[in-house]
With several copies, the nearest count.
Chain A
Amino acid sequence: MYQDVIIAGFGGQGVMLIGNLLAYAGMEAGSEVTYIPVYGPEMRGGTANCTVVISSEDIGSPIIQSPKSLIIMNQPSLDKFQPKLVDGGIQILNSSLVDAAKAEDRVTTYTVPANEIADKLGNTRMANMVALGAYVQATGCVPLEQVKDSLKSVISERYSHLIPKNAEAIQAGADHVAEQMK
């Protein structure tokens, strides 16, 4: 098994958090994983992205130029990363902020109105979790339950009361994609 993904969005959208969560879940599921953020002053006020690799073997490169999959949380990220996605790759688009019409045919696209779904669940800030749920459903790279289970490990003590809500959001994202996959 080998999967890699670039997760990209605005600074405040929590892309780093779901990257961490995905990788953590991968580890707990017994895989090798790597996570690498883009960091530093360029980030300030701008976009953020990270790369996660999950594999049953030793991972060589943690940096991926032609990713097999994407989670795209905003429009600039689509513009930047879709061209790099391999032919036949999978992408999750947050259709609340991304123009789904721009999705290319050469790749498989799942759209999720992540902000709206999250909003309905009570907090737009969980849009990242919705997107992650969608992604996990679409790729099956880790068991969905493992992702939910790992929430407690990546969310700090102080916010632990939000874990059930986040799990719900993950599930909602997954459900949304399951619909599309049918």
Chain B
Amino acid sequence: MSEKKRIFIKGNEAISRGALAAGCTCYFGYPITPQNDIPEFLSTEMAAVNNGEFVQAESEVAAANMLLGAAAGGARAMTTSSSPGVSLMQEAISYMAGSELPGVIVNVNRGGPGLGDIGSSQGDYFQSTRGGGHGDYRTLVLAPGTCQEGYDMMIEAFDLAFKYRNPVLVLADAIVGQMKEPVTPWEPKAADNHGAEDWCIDGAKGREKRLLKSLFLEDGALAGQNRNLQSKYEAMQAEARADVFECDDAELVVVAFGSIGRIVKSTVRRLRSEGKKVGLVRPLTLYPFPSEVLRDLAKQGKRFLTIEQNCGQMVDDVRLSVRGIADSEFHGHMPGDLPGSDDFLAPIIKHLED
């Protein structure tokens, strides 16, 4: 796997292979379109490649709690699902965050609300970045827009999960999951579990027993834990990343993530070829949000247009990022409608000329 040969695979497979390369040894999941390629691939490969465990859980609730269990054991573990399934995981994710357990959750976002459809959507941005579960917690959120990023970000996701002892969400969508592209697999350096052996539970031989929990009843204990979590989230801000494209001389900066980001890139290229001064910021991390990047651009006097395949979610973060300096317009492409680069010509031109 270490030579630089490109393989032609689906995004779902890239995500699966990325997880294996990251040293993931436990997979738990429940079938749901459009991510079934992942459990199907890993049902044999998890054992074959990493000598790991694959469990088809009875539900997403169970899958997320199996993840919590494996994480408590210090294992590199993951679950994958799509929107309705991820909604069912919210309690467990809140517990993982509260108990400071690392784990990777992939959401191949489909159309909602409700059963919706199985097409592409970015409707789960709020759920992903605001903690759809209860309480004050955050998960790191990575948003791949290509199959290669699907692969790479899985490796990154496991690393971040252990670095911060926090759940990491990989927010893909049906386009990224279902498309095929050339992917160059690579093997990261040996997995660094950032000292998991010092907190995980694996039998109290020769040491104090350990306890992983999120219940804090003693006076002030929960407040303390929340302060602790908040300072961790503060530290996470350093991980914010974005793909900045043609922004230097841009008058209008489009902000778009994931597959919509890459599709908009085509639109921007086309407009550039027509001499239009448009740029693109594609956030690669959705939490932490690359606010600095946007603030810097705002200070340069750029205007902003946020494009999402939803009814307006990330635009809140863009507006909050540049507040006091600039604002952002919004164009939403409805879930339920497969977007192409043509769809974004008119809105971008409109706001460019506004």
Contacts and interface: CB of A to CB of B under 8 A. Distances in A.
A64 interface: yes
Interface in B220-271: 259, 262-269
A96 to B, nearest CB: 28
A35 B217 CA distance: 22
> In the complex, which of the residues B181, B268, B339, B341 has the most CB atoms of chain A within 10 Å of its own CB atom?
B181
A66 B267 CA distance: 13
B175 A62 contact: yes
Interface of A: 20, 23-24, 27, 32-37, 39-42, 58-66, 153
A58 B269 CA distance: 11
Contacts, number: 76
Contacts of B269: 60
Given A42-B217, A61-B340, A36 B175 contact: yes
SS class of chain A's interface: helix, strand, loop or mixed? mixed
A37 B339 CA distance: 14
Contact of B266 (A23, A39, A61, A66): A61
B8 interface: yes
Interface of B: 6, 8, 33-34, 118-119, 175, 178-182, 217, 259, 262-269, 338-343
B122 to A, nearest CB: 14
A63 B34 contact: no
> In the complex, which of the residues A27, A40, A60, A64 has the most CB atoms of chain B within 10 Å of its own CB atom?
A60
Contacts of B179: 34-36, 62
B182 A33 contact: yes
B310 to A, nearest CB: 17
A62 B6 CA distance: 18
A23 B265 contact: no
Nearest to A154: B8
Contacts of A23: 8, 180
7 tightest A-B CB contacts, nearest first: A60-B266, A65-B340, A60-B265, A61-B341, A61-B263, A36-B179, A61-B266
A33 B178 contact: no
Contacts of A66: 342
A125 B139 CA distance: 50
A31 to B, nearest CB: 9
Nearest to A36: B179
Contact of B339 (A24, A32, A63): A63
B118 A34 contact: no
B221 to A, nearest CB: 11
Contacts of B266: 59-61
